[in-house]
Each structure stands twice: as structure tokens, then as C-alpha cells.
Amino acid sequence: MILKIFSFENDIDFSKNHINVLQIQNKKLFAKMVSSFNNMCKGLTVECDEVITLLEQDEIVDFTKNVLFVVDFLNFDFNQRRIQTVLYQYIDKIIKLEPEILSNINNLQDSIHIEFMSIMEEFPFEILCKKDSSILDILKMYGIRIKANVDEKIIEKLFRIVELVQCLDLAKLIILVNVKQYLDSDEIVEFYKYCVYNNVKLLLLERGSEVSPLERERVLFVDENFDDFLYNNM
């Protein structure tokens, strides 16, 4: 998988066992790149000089379906609509592969329907009641959601985001913004090792002027003149 940015000479290659970092020195360019990635993940258009293309085997990858862009990972919502939809679909698929569980759920629905109908007969007017609810309807009714953990450390939250993406197959690429502002080098390297071991495609979008690649890093550095250079520590 390769990320091409129209105004940059070098591409960002995700095919090897390293973690990519896009480090931008200029504040305005950094803000523009954050905005561009954000807009593309929301399906919005970007300006011509900000064209970003993600390719996999020469095929264009849809950002809206295949990229998870996280700016505020400190307040990351594990129950945002996109995640909850995929979670429900995942559970629905599991249940439908288990005939006994599906049969038990249907039997319970029948019992509940009978009880409701007996109560409704007491009214002097007709009341309609939906008999069969889908698994998705039931999951919504019971408020199935991912448990929040307010006490977890930042590094733990990052691991949980990656685990969630892996388990639910949420995205082909995770982009995190300014992670290095919150973690020390040892924590970052530990996180890198986990992502590489689990074949997670990760891009860190960082702002800064000093380039000192950590272990497993491949840094595409863009200076104040908008010239880009590759650095790595493999």
C-alpha cells in the first residue's frame, strides 16, 4: 500500500516492516494536511494542491471506508457511529453462524411477543406490535456498546484502538496525529513493535523541525521550503 501526496516528491510506502511518520515543519502546511486527511476520511473534497491518493496494488483505496483518522485520541469515542455499526454487523454475523443461539433468540422473541399481545388485548382499541426483530434491532435495544475505561493510560488507549481496528477489520490504515507529544521514546517503540508484529498499517502525522528517527521508523520530513526528505532507522 502506498500513499501519494501530490506536492511531495517521495511517496509513503506501507509494504515493509516499518512505521511511517510524516513530519512537517511548517505550521500552516501541517494544519492543511490535517484538514485534508480529515476531509478525505469524511468524503469531502480537497483543494487541487492537496490531492492525496492511497493505492493498493495500483487500485485507489477509499479513505471513507478504509482509513481511521484520529486527531483527538485522548477523547477517542469507541462507540462512534462507524464503530458501533461495524460492531453490530460483526456480532450479527457471529450469531447467524450459530444456529442454536439464533434459535434461542427467536424463541425468546416469540415468548415476549405473546406476553405483549396478552397485555394489548386489555385495551379497547387495536395496538400493533412488531413480531420479529432483527439481531441488529435487538443489539440496539439492549444498548450493546464498548465499555469505556476512563483510567487507562494514553499508551493503553492506543493499543486498544489498534486492537479494535484489527478485531472488527475497521480500516486498512490508521493515521494518528501528534502522538509523540504524549509518549516517550520507549513507549513509542513498544507501540511500533506491536503494530509491526500484527501487520498494522500506521502513519503518524507530526509537526516538528528536528528529525531523529526511532527504531523501525521511516520519516518523510517536509521542511519550511516544502522540500521533502526521507530518513529511516531500520
Taking the C-alpha atoms of residue 134 and residue 63, their distance in angstroms, rounded to an integer, is 30
Any idea what the CATH number is for the domain that residue 65 is in? 3.40.50.11940
pTM exceeds cut of 0.85:
yes
pLDDT score of 109: 87
Q: Which residue has the higher pLDDT, 34 or 131?
A: 34
Looking at per-residue pLDDT, the higher value among 171 and 122 belongs to 171
When pLDDT is averaged across residues 147-166 and rounded to a whole number, the result is: 91
Range of 91's domain? 83-141
The band of 117, judged by pLDDT with boundaries at 50, 70 and 90, is confident
Residue after which a domain boundary falls, among 141, 156, 189: 141
Residue with cell 502522538: 179
Question: Mean pLDDT over residues 91-110, rounded?
Answer: 92
Q: Check whether residue 59 and residue 175 sit in a common domain.
A: yes
Higher pLDDT, 137 or 150: 137
Q: What is the mean pLDDT of residues 176-196?
A: 94
**Are residues 126 and 21 part of one domain?**
no
| Residue 200 burial (C-beta neighbours within 10 Å; 0-12, 13-18, 19+) | buried
Average pLDDT, the chain: 90
Q: Specify whether 74 is located in the same domain as 26.
A: yes
Cα–Cα distance list, 155 to 128, 187, 189, 194, 199 (Å): 51, 7, 11, 12, 18
19 and 102: one domain?
no
Indicate the number of domains in the chain: 2
Do 163 and 211 lie in one domain? The reply is yes
| 93 and 57 assigned to the same domain | no
pLDDT tens, residue by residue, 20-53: 999 999 999 999 999 999 999 988 876 644 588 9
pLDDT at position 48 is 46
pLDDT tens per residue, range 192-220: 999 999 999 999 999 998 888 898 899 99
Same domain, 113 and 225: no
Read off the pLDDT of each residue in 95-110 and give the average, rounded to a whole number.
91
Domain boundary among 124, 141, 158: 141
Residues 20 and 89 in one domain: no
Give pLDDT, residue 33: 92
Would you say residue 13 has pLDDT above 80?
yes
The residue from 93, 112, 141 where one domain ends is 141
If asked whether residues 74 and 92 sit together in one domain, one would say no
Q: Three-state SS for 178?
A: coil
When pLDDT is cut at 50, 70 and 90, the band that residue 6 belongs to is confident
Q: What is the pLDDT of residue 211?
A: 86
Q: With H, G, I as helix, E, B as strand and everything else as coil, classify residue 231.
A: strand
